[in-house]
Amino acid sequence: RWGIDNDVTHELLKIFYSHPGLLKYEEAVRTRNYEKEEGQGFTVEGGLKDVNTMLNTGDQVGVPLPFCSTMREQFVSVLGHDLKDKEWSVLGDAARLNSRLPMPSQQKKQ
């Protein structure tokens, strides 16, 4: 829609997927350590605010954002489990929470 060249998109994705920040999220989900460190990451509450902003912007320009809608539902669900101050990577366990399964210990066997 915006006319971005595929080569530019490829280079951006290549950079993004090798970024240390992405590796940090992967570790948080893998170890189930959802404690937000001061000055780093986003809380569930902050993530929901951003997703709502994206959805509102999509509405204004007539572009549906179905993945954002799904993410919003997961954020709201996690908030319902009183996890608003956790790092937003806790969404990795949203299905477990929605199924009313207990959260395993935060440190999974590696």
- Mean pLDDT to the nearest integer, 45-59: 95
Q: Could you tell me if residue 109 is inside a domain? A: no
Q: Count how many domains the chain has.
A: 1
- 88-94: long-range contacts (C-beta < 8 A, 24 or more apart)? 88/41, 88/42, 88/43, 88/44, 88/46, 88/47, 89/25, 89/28, 89/29, 89/34, 89/41, 90/34, 90/44, 91/44, 91/47, 92/28, 92/29, 92/32, 93/32, 93/34
- Mean pLDDT to the nearest integer, 10-33: 75
User: Is 43's pLDDT higher than 50?
Assistant: yes
pLDDT band with cut points at 50, 70 and 90 for residue 74: very high
Q: Could you tell me if residue 50 is inside a domain? A: yes
For 4, 5, 15, 21, 25, the CA distances from 9, given in Å and listed in that order, are 7, 7, 10, 19, 22
User: Which is higher by pLDDT, 92 or 104?
Assistant: 92
User: Is 19's pLDDT higher than 80?
Assistant: no
Q: Could you tell me if residue 107 is inside a domain? A: no
pTM for the whole structure: 0.69
CATH of the domain at 46: 1.10.1040.10
Phi first, then psi, for residue 87 (nearest 5°) are -65, 140
Q: Could you tell me if residue 103 is inside a domain? A: no
User: Is 61's pLDDT higher than 90?
Assistant: yes
- Mean pLDDT to the nearest integer, 45-56: 95
Q: Could you tell me if residue 1 is inside a domain? A: no
Q: Could you tell me if residue 23 is inside a domain? A: yes
Residue-averaged pLDDT of the chain = 83
Q: Could you tell me if residue 106 is inside a domain? A: no
- Mean pLDDT to the nearest integer, 82-104: 85
Q: Could you tell me if residue 57 is inside a domain? A: yes
- DSSP 3-state of 43: strand
**What is the rounded distance in angstroms from the CA atom of residue 31 to the CA atom of residue 49?**
26
At 8 the pLDDT is: 80
Whether the CB-CB separation of 8 and 84 falls below 8 Å is answered with: no
Domain that holds residue 88: 6-98
